[in-house]
Structure 1
């Protein structure tokens, strides 16, 4: 496929999750890149590519993953040579070149003449599709669901800590005003969300920014109560320490929500009106 001005192009959703728009660190990013790579291989297999072409594509994906990690600006671009692929595969260069010709109709090629000689600059965008759309939507759904599911037990534990801590705090001398203020915040939190710990993946995905806001509210309550009632000798932990989530996870959730506002402003406005 030729005629594309930028063969490194990826969909906005893919850029958000694994490209220049992603906040994720390698531990969070790698599963998403793996899922995108699996989509590429599935699409290539559906297209009927032979075994040699699929093997070459798998090697190109290895190169792509490394280059994307090093420079997210690369997007769907892969730069390598047939000689390097021959070294990776153990094949003669001629066999690699033949497999690349089978792959050619399914990728973007910067220069056909150089491609034929084995000097490769190719784009994976045509294979980074799912059901006619960029697989970025799949990555967003996967990451969001996984984020909410991992957060659920942490929220339940934090709510128990706050409730138990406020009960214990009633007996603290001189802390009546502070405890009353925290109790008011706790009651307001519970009235607002009526049990955030039971927030569903579907509900959180529909308004991810609201979910993050409520998590932040609970985080503040948790840390305030723990700091009030737990002495240093008990080794108290903040909510962030208890959760073990990197800061990038919250930023990514907010970035996804912001992107939804831009892509679907009418739906987002309606959701805000229901809050």
Structure 2
């Protein structure tokens, strides 16, 4: 039986209870897993009837992920319903499910009231670095590139306001001192800046915690300058408005790397998680 821990383990941190991803991002990840399952059916030579039945099994899994079922690698289907959906007989569905069961085992104790529960674990192993690499990159590329673009716009705003302030308040003595302080802090941030540059997307994906540390420093500087120098009549949004769309992905990026399961470390192919793994112990996942 799959432990509750799995909901927060390697796979669960992407599609289970352990994910912070927004519904939209999570659905993209689930869709990619579904496509991978179907490609594996072709690879093992499953018959046409078996592939059609598997499509409906996978669709049921996608719906169960959307509804928040606790076990991310299990799926429950009802052959009678599948027969209606496929416009065929129950015996034909049973034969197709039997073919699927050669590769994805049926949990016999779950066969009650006409329901059948499949375990997808054989095709979704927790040490599949190829699949995890694809799934991680699917949401990370969107997240990191969006935040980097936002940082570039924020940096442009800082340069405009600090180098040539235009509001009347900028000439006040206390404002002059504050502008000088913020300019010094901007220069220090620029000297340390590495991962918020659009050209550093691979490095940012490889070191998400440091990336978001750099973003956080820029965010504070930006908001300080908006409050001090921006024209309130031409309201400039705070830096944080990007978190309306990227906030949950930010939490996902700041969470523990999802490659530790049941006390066993799985060596990933991804630089982006292997770089951070040493910072988190197995006990941190309990």
**What's the TM-score once normalised by structure 2's chain length?**
0.81
Task: Indicate conservation of the 8 Å contact 2:196/2:204, yes or no.
Answer: no
Q: 2:242 & 2:34 partners in 1: Cα distance? A: 33
Q: Which 5+ residue runs of structure 1 have no aligned equivalent?
A: none
Q: In the alignment, which residue of structure 2 is the partner of 1:61?
A: 58
Deviates more, 1:248-257 or 1:9-18: 9-18
Match of 2:150 among 139, 144, 154: 154
Q: 1:240 & 1:18 partners in 2: Cα distance? A: 26
Task: Indicate conservation of the 8 Å contact 1:24/1:249, yes or no.
Answer: yes
**What's the TM-score once normalised by structure 1's chain length?**
0.84
Q: In the alignment, which residue of structure 1 is the partner of 2:284?
A: none
2:46 alignment partner, SS class: coil
Q: 1:54 & 1:252 partners in 2: Cα distance? A: 34
Deviations 1:234-273 (A, max 9, x none): 121111225753321110111155868x9579954889xx
2:75 alignment partner, SS class: strand
Q: How many residues align?
A: 265
Q: Which 5+ residue runs of structure 2 have no aligned equivalent?
A: 268-272, 280-286
Tell me how far 1:66 sits from its aligned partner. 1.4
Pairwise mapping of residues 1-275 of structure 1 onto structure 2 (< 5 A)?
5-6=1-2, 12-111=9-108, 114=111, 118-129=114-125, 133=129, 135-169=131-165, 171-174=170-173, 175-194=175-194, 196-241=196-241, 244-257=244-257, 267-268=275-276
Structure 1 runs (4+) deviating above 6 angstroms are none
CA RMSD, Structure 1 to Structure 2 (Å): 3.1
Deviations 1:122-141 (A, max 9, x none): 11121225995572332112
